[in-house]
Chain A
């Protein structure tokens, strides 16, 4: 039975329908274009994928941030959803947007938080300084705003994605 998937990578979304999986050959449709692929596992864990004009050896890894597909040193991160499921989820989209949350882009130690509550931060202003791998890195608030929460103390160790500072838009 054909199954349609929404394959998301960053901003782009492709529709990939697995029309028929015959093991060593798979018939798919990418955004409506039919394509026959030869697919077989290589001994080192990669998968050889061959179309009429090209062949690649890819490695798939399931990670917390989605499906990682590695082609030598080129990596692509995908989120793959069953198209029927993503249609249902689409109704609720737009809620819970990150908004003014400034988070740590990497694990590290908080060296400094140069802002105070209620301070108005200009777009691109520095709200924290993180240290990782012997480097100090400025963390900026791209959109700026009023500081409504400071979630970390100086000297604290934080994980990637941890909330540092929350901002609210400033209405003029």
Chain B
């Protein structure tokens, strides 16, 4: 059977390895020195070391990944999300090495990967885009001129960015010089490309995206929407499918638009068209993610389609196993991302050991994770630990199921965002909907220090008391009788 090399780590590597195993495909993991003992390494059939912990020396080293594939005889490469997944140069290197990259062709990646090109291509294909630059912005002077033209607030975005990284909102001209320099530096550091572009910031839009699937036989379908408007630091934390409120007419229009956008770049594989939606359900193309998304489980739960299975089928040259007519939304699915971060300190990452980690299980629940209890969360990579998803016949029951599941999540030893997720889920804005990307900002500051609990304080004292009793000097050594000593030393000699 063909072998698939998974050029990623964490939960998504584990997700793909499991799918390979289900299909009877071989799986090869790769890892950095920080991940030597990580879950994905031991889940796969084989594993190859890439290099030192920093991503640029390991998971971003396309040459090492290709060498690992050659070494192990892997013929397919699944890039997961992040890292090399949207790097068209890597895609071309795979082609040259005779390896099947699981994803769209280099043309689609180039068209969509550089956000400025994507905007031009979509504009030309008749897909609505957000007002702003159709070209990259190279100098501060250019940036100043354009910002003055379209008016503040504006968004500075990394042309090669994605996943909420490398985005800055500037409220007035005074913030531009520092913001422009910072955006370029971050873009260069994280995406290897300092190019940035500018869009008018549509403040507090809804963020709704459409999942698409296409095979190499000319079939392109959409799997309806995911609402991803619950964000902090421009990063999604809760996603749901279907959206909280969206008219059926808009849903179908967005689906048709997404299929058209994918076809415009001859898309093959799984992809996502991200849109901004305003209060009147006007929608604008924001970007296409030419890869599997973090939040793909909600679509899988709501439609019953296994997206990774379809990706693997398509990569093996087969047709999609489903047609557009097969796709219906059934019930409601919600995903919560569990992060090692401190919500009371501006969501600063809090890497550390997972001293306690026992996720909830039960009907309608799904956990996607890449760590286990005792694992260290390395500080070199993303701070997401796990994704917890809940499915139920309707939205309110799905929320209730998620709340109950989060409540019994056993987790500790580092700061995490479970109380923050609970705060969002319990908020009236989320419960009633529709809500927008401003939702998290409207919530009162979260008090992460729990109230005093006499039982916990008493237990702390009792535990300490018992530790001390146990450590009391044991009976002195000379209490050992001559008989015991002889028996002990004699026993040693006998070995």
Contact = CB atoms under 8 A, between A and B. Distances in A.
Nearest to B416: A73
Contacts of A72: 407-411
Contacts of A70: 355-356, 410-413
B410 A51 contact: no
Best-buried of B182, B355, B455 by chain A (most CB within 10 Å): B455
Contact of A30 (B379, B419, B457, B465): B457
Contacts of B406: 73
Best-buried of A67, A70, A75 by chain B (most CB within 10 Å): A75
A18 B457 CA distance: 12
Best-buried of B410, B450, B452, B457 by chain A (most CB within 10 Å): B457
B127 interface: no
A35 to B, nearest CB: 7
Nearest to B411: A73
Given A76-B456, A107-B351, A16 B461 contact: yes
B282 interface: no
B54 to A, nearest CB: 9
Contacts of A80: 460-461, 463-464
B383 interface: yes
Interface string A1-35: 00101010110101011100100001010100001
B493 interface: no
Contacts of B469: 21
A3 B449 CA distance: 28
Interface in B390-416: 406-413, 416
A134 B410 contact: no
Interface stretch (B133-141, B220-228, B283-291, B342-350): B342-350
Interface in B171-194: 182, 186, 190
A74 B355 contact: no
A63 B457 CA distance: 16
A21 B419 contact: no
A151 interface: no
Contacts of A107: 351, 379
A37 B455 contact: yes
Contact of B379 (A5, A35, A62, A133): A133
Contacts of A62: 467
Contacts of A95: none
Interface string B435-465: 0000000000000011011111111111111
A interface majority secondary structure: strand
A17 B461 CA distance: 8
Given A5-B461, A21-B466, A80-B460, A73 B409 contact: yes
B165 interface: yes
Q: Categorize the interface residue count of chain A.
A: 35 or more
Interface in A52-71: 54, 56, 58-63, 67-71
A39 B462 contact: yes
Given A134-B382, A136-B186, A67 B463 contact: yes
A54 B455 CA distance: 9
Interface in A107-133: 107-108, 132-133
Contact of B457 (A9, A21, A68, A134): A9
A150 B410 CA distance: 41
B459 A47 contact: yes
A160 B187 CA distance: 26
A127 to B, nearest CB: 16
Nearest to B341: A133
A135 interface: yes
B29 interface: no
B355 A108 contact: no
Nearest to B345: A105
A38 B236 CA distance: 44
B412 to A, nearest CB: 4
Contacts of A82: 468
Contacts of A134: 165, 190, 381-382
Contact of B456 (A5, A56, A132): A56
Given A106-B379, A134-B165, A7 B345 contact: no
A35 B454 CA distance: 10
Interface string A122-158: 0000000000111111000000000000000000000
Contacts of B450: 74-76
A26 to B, nearest CB: 6
Best-buried of B356, B379, B453, B461 by chain A (most CB within 10 Å): B461
Contact of A56 (B355, B408, B416, B455): B455
B351 A58 contact: no
Given A21-B465, A73-B410, A16 B458 contact: yes
A108 B379 contact: yes
Contacts of A69: 456, 459-460, 463
A70 B380 CA distance: 26
A162 interface: no
B210 interface: no
A76 B411 CA distance: 12
Nearest to A131: B189
Contacts of B351: 106-107, 132-133
A133 B381 contact: yes
A76 B416 CA distance: 13
27 contacts: A5-B461, A5-B464, A10-B449, A14-B452, A21-B462, A30-B454, A30-B457, A35-B458, A37-B462, A47-B463, A49-B455, A49-B458, A51-B454, A56-B456, A61-B356, A61-B412, A62-B467, A63-B355, A68-B412, A70-B413, A75-B412, A76-B456, A78-B457, A80-B460, A105-B345, A105-B348, A137-B348
Interface of A: 3, 5, 7, 9-10, 12, 14, 16-18, 21, 26, 28, 30, 35, 37, 39, 47, 49, 51, 54, 56, 58-63, 67-76, 78, 80, 82, 105-108, 132-137
Sort A-B residue pairs by CB-CB distance and give the 5 closest, nearest first. Answer: A16-B461, A70-B412, A133-B349, A78-B460, A80-B464
Given A68-B413, A73-B419, A106-B349, 12 more contacts: A10-B449, A26-B462, A49-B455, A60-B459, A62-B467, A70-B410, A71-B456, A78-B456, A80-B461, A105-B345, A134-B190, A134-B382
